[in-house]
Amino acid sequence: MKKLLLLLILISQFAFAQMPNISNVWLNNSKAYAGTIGNEKQAIKLKINISEQNRKNDQEYFVSGYTLVDKNYTKFEGNLTISKYKDTKKKGTVYGEYEFAEENKGKHSGLFKGKFVYTFKWNKTSEKIEGQYIEFIGNWKSYDGTLDFKTRITNQ
C-alpha cells in the first residue's frame, strides 16, 4: 500500500510539473543570430521578433521573425520544441528540435529544420542566468526541392 501511494505521488508530481516560460530566451536580447548556410559557408542572419509559449504544450514555443542571406530578406514562422533538459549545480542545458517556415517568395525561400541546444550558467549570488549560448544545427530546403543546405546558427 505504501509503494502504491508513493507511486501515485510520484506520478502526480510529473503530471503537474510545468516548464517555466523561457520564451524571452529565444528573442536573444533583440539581437540577430548569426551563422552559415551551405557548403560555401555563406553568412546568414536570423532574427526572432516574437516568441510565445504554447498554452496547451509548455514544451513548445511559437516564434516568428526574418532571415537575411545576402540581400534576400524573408519572413518566417515556426516552432521550437524542447525534448530534454539537463541541470547541474552550475550549468543547465536544454535540447530540442526546431522548424522555421519562410514565406514562399520563390526559389530562395524554404524550410529550416533541425536540432537546437541552449546552455546557460546559473549565478547563485545574483540569481540570474549568465553565459547563454544557443545553437541551431540543421538543414534548409527550398520549397521547390532544388536546393538543400546545411545550416549552423548561433547567438554569438
pLDDT in tens, 90-131: 899 999 999 999 999 877 899 999 999 999 987 778 777 788
Q: Are 88 and 95 in contact (CB under 8 A)?
A: no
pLDDT value, residue 18: 55
Neighbours of 76 (CB within 10 A): 21
Low-confidence ranges of the chain (pLDDT < 50): 1-17
